Structure 1
Amino acid sequence: MDTEKIEKLFNVFEKSISILQKELDIEYLDALVETGDNLYTGEVQVIDNQPNAEAVRALDKLYSKVKLSEYKSAEIRETIQLVLIRATQEEKIQANHQFTPDAIGMIFNALIDGLDLDLQDAKLADLSVGTGNLIETILDHLASKKVSGIGVDNDDTMLSVASMSASLEGVELDLIHQDAIEEIEIGKVPLIVSDLPVGYYPIDDKAKQFATHDKKEHSFVHHLLIEQSMNVLEDSGIGIFLVPSNLFQTNQGQHLLAYFHDSVYLQAMLNLPLKIFKEQSARKSILILQKVGGSAKQANPVLLGDLPEFNQRKEMQKFLRDYEIWAHQNIYR
């Protein structure tokens, strides 16, 4: 990627956001979306004479400094990530709403490649799509297969960011604004990915429809979303999730394991390097599940372990070679 081009586009975003916040009296994220939409359409959106003519001239001059056609999708995505980092400082965005870094998205890409799935012209889904960075990283990687995506989230601001970034990056992503725990009508997909939000789901009446719900307290939303994701997978479909490393060690972990017993094959759980987390309790892992049915079978052995440090190139290459051998013996459909 060209860092100078990224810096140039970042500066355009920053200055545009500043102008729009002042002129329209809107929050940082709203000004980010407005900026992205203006860049995509090639003109400043004006409603009820706002922003005023002077601001429009300033924005037009600013936008003329960049040509999006000269940018790769990854460079646009990197720029938006940098702007979102600034947004977390400006608006104190909660952890569940922060974007999934490209480094983790690239690991997802490598794991998907190793599974050698037939994804030509397929749809993949993310039921907690957030700003869209994870699924858009994957869609860009799978562009040659003409893969499209479906994203679900109940936060309209996050969906606006996802829609804007997908348009700028040129990936095909349909977005649905709804609570993903409710019934979803998106058909069956062969692959589902997600950086799952962690916490309690507050509506017990909805949660009790799921096998993974807890009868004594609010159920974990990440457990419910795993089960819901399995519901929209086709038989033998694959789910890859970013989850807490202690997923099965909590007081509700047994509900998840009991659900897996008849419906899901737990194929792999790979811990991200501890070094990238401030403390052990915050550590995340990548969970690979396969829906029972079709030609699916339980992996033997289940792949468990730690991923190498991201900057350990030789170790990562060896891990991925070993992973492909394991996948060929256990997961290929």
Structure 2
Amino acid sequence: MIIDNNKIILLQDKLDEAAMLYYEQKDGKLKYLDCLEAITKAFLNEEDLDNEEIVHILSELDQIDFNSEEVRQAILYLIIKGFKHQHLPLDTITPDRIGVICAHLIDALFEGKDKVYLMDLNLGTGNLVYTINNYSDLELYLMGIENNETMIKVAQIFSEMMMQDVQIYFQDALKDNFPQVDLVIADVDSDEYHSDTYESELTKLNINYFPYLLIEKHQYSGDEDTQFMFIVPNDFFSQKGSDEFKKAISENLEMVALIVLPETMFVDPSLAKSILIMQKQKQGEKRIPVSVFNLPSISDQEAFITMITEIKKELKERRFH
């Protein structure tokens, strides 16, 4: 995919200019993200804002073809601006580089498959799945769960501008299991989950670490060939209830690989994460030890590419052993 940075800058500048005009037209009573949503709908001819100046600005983009990745990067820049305007945490947006790495890993896991049904249990802005979709060689059917209306609005801005279909479930991630899914994925944080109505084997033991509960719940999603990919904090296995968590999933899931991402990939090293890959445990098959990889800094491109190639080879061998 050829990416034209000049097109990205042009698109983000024109959409931002139009959004700021609309913000002023509304006397600052709307949030920037609301204005951006209105502008994208106007750009797609879904809404008439009755503002000739905005129409003129958007018309300057009419004769330009943008590919999906150029649109995603331009919109991401504006989403970040909107997050800053509302003082929303930026670490809820999965970094692009993680999405690109996941795309390579997914291609290895599902090589030769015609279509992959992907479910993101923690959709957020959607940046993770949209990045994966743009960099994967596979045909992906995107689904996601999200219970925050602002995040859903952002995910829809992305999808509409990219003309990328995504099926969004507005609900709690611990509500349902999903049988028709090939890949379960999620970028999860170290949150505690408390609910008067949700109960599981772990919560009965007073273990409320959300990543544990999420995996415990969705070990029953998909079928025997379903793969799981979780982006987890580096202290994932040192949380209270780690042993109980491993026991709770031991009959259904086996850990395949743990890929430790370089700290240089994160603004704050204390927020560094790893990619945990799991698969359904097949009856009668012997468990293979978990493969652990430490990715080098992306600045050392040769070492980085060599390691990614090694991981992809390992995943292919593990899946078809």
TM-score by length of 1: 0.87
Report the CA distance shift for 1:67/1:287 in structure 2 as closer, same or farther (over 3 A).
farther
1:221 alignment partner in structure 2: 210
Deviation at 1:101, TM superposition (A): 1.8
State yes or no: 1:42 paired with 2:45: yes
2:171 alignment partner in structure 1: 178
* Partner AA of 2:76 in structure 1: Q
Unaligned runs of 5+ in 1: none
Q: Is the 8 A contact 2:262 2:296 kept in 1?
A: yes
Report the CA distance shift for 1:132/1:193 in structure 2 as closer, same or farther (over 3 A).
same
* Partner AA of 1:125 in structure 2: M
1:128 alignment partner in structure 2: 122
Q: Is the 8 A contact 1:233 1:291 kept in 2?
A: no
Unaligned runs of 5+ in 2: none
1:81 alignment partner in structure 2: 76
State yes or no: 1:149 paired with 2:142: yes
d(CA) in 2 for partners of 1:151, 1:193:
9
1:165 alignment partner in structure 2: 158
Deviation at 1:231, TM superposition (A): 2.4
d(CA) in 1 for partners of 2:149, 2:285:
36
Q: Is the 8 A contact 1:296 1:331 kept in 2?
A: no
Q: Is the 8 A contact 1:213 1:255 kept in 2?
A: no
Report the CA distance shift for 1:225/1:216 in structure 2 as closer, same or farther (over 3 A).
closer
Where do 1:61-80 residues align within 5 Å?
61-67=56-62, 70-80=65-75
Deviation at 1:284, TM superposition (A): 0.6
d(CA) in 1 for partners of 2:284, 2:60:
53
Q: CA RMSD in A?
A: 2.3
Q: Is the 8 A contact 1:192 1:240 kept in 2?
A: yes
d(CA) in 2 for partners of 1:255, 1:302:
18
* Partner AA of 2:118 in structure 1: L
Of residues 109, 112, 137 in structure 1, which corresponds to 2:106? 112
Percent of pairs identical after alignment?
23
d(CA) in 1 for partners of 2:237, 2:154:
32
1:241 alignment partner in structure 2: 230
Where do 1:1-333 residues align within 5 Å?
1-24=3-26, 25-39=29-43, 41-42=44-45, 45-46=47-48, 51=49, 53=50, 56-67=51-62, 70-95=65-90, 98-142=92-136, 145-184=138-177, 186-206=178-198, 208-209=199-200, 211-213=201-203, 215-216=205-206, 219-277=208-266, 280-293=269-282, 298=287, 300-332=288-320
Deviation at 1:23, TM superposition (A): 2.9
Q: Is the 8 A contact 1:236 1:294 kept in 2?
A: no
Deviation at 1:105, TM superposition (A): 0.5
Which stretch of the first structure deviates more once superposed, 223-232 or 261-270? 223-232
Which stretch of the first structure deviates more once superposed, 233-242 or 109-118? 109-118
* Partner AA of 2:38 in structure 1: E
* Partner AA of 2:32 in structure 1: Y
d(CA) in 2 for partners of 1:313, 1:296:
37
d(CA) in 1 for partners of 2:145, 2:53:
36
* Partner AA of 1:37 in structure 2: K
Deviation at 1:68, TM superposition (A): 7.8
Which stretch of the first structure deviates more once superposed, 116-125 or 187-196? 116-125
d(CA) in 2 for partners of 1:283, 1:237:
27
TM-score by length of 2: 0.90
Q: Is the 8 A contact 1:265 1:297 kept in 2?
A: no
d(CA) in 2 for partners of 1:277, 1:329:
30
Q: Is the 8 A contact 2:18 2:39 kept in 1?
A: yes
Report the CA distance shift for 1:9/1:199 in structure 2 as closer, same or farther (over 3 A).
same
Q: Is the 8 A contact 1:17 1:32 kept in 2?
A: yes
Q: Is the 8 A contact 1:126 1:193 kept in 2?
A: yes
Q: Is the 8 A contact 1:290 1:296 kept in 2?
A: no
The DSSP-based 3-state class of the residue aligned with 2:257 is strand
Q: Is the 8 A contact 1:151 1:174 kept in 2?
A: yes
Report the CA distance shift for 1:241/1:235 in structure 2 as closer, same or farther (over 3 A).
same
Q: Is the 8 A contact 2:12 2:75 kept in 1?
A: yes
d(CA) in 1 for partners of 2:34, 2:189:
22
Which stretch of the first structure deviates more once superposed, 222-231 or 162-171? 222-231
Deviations 1:242-292 (A, max 9, x none): 110110101132232122321211111111102233555322111101122
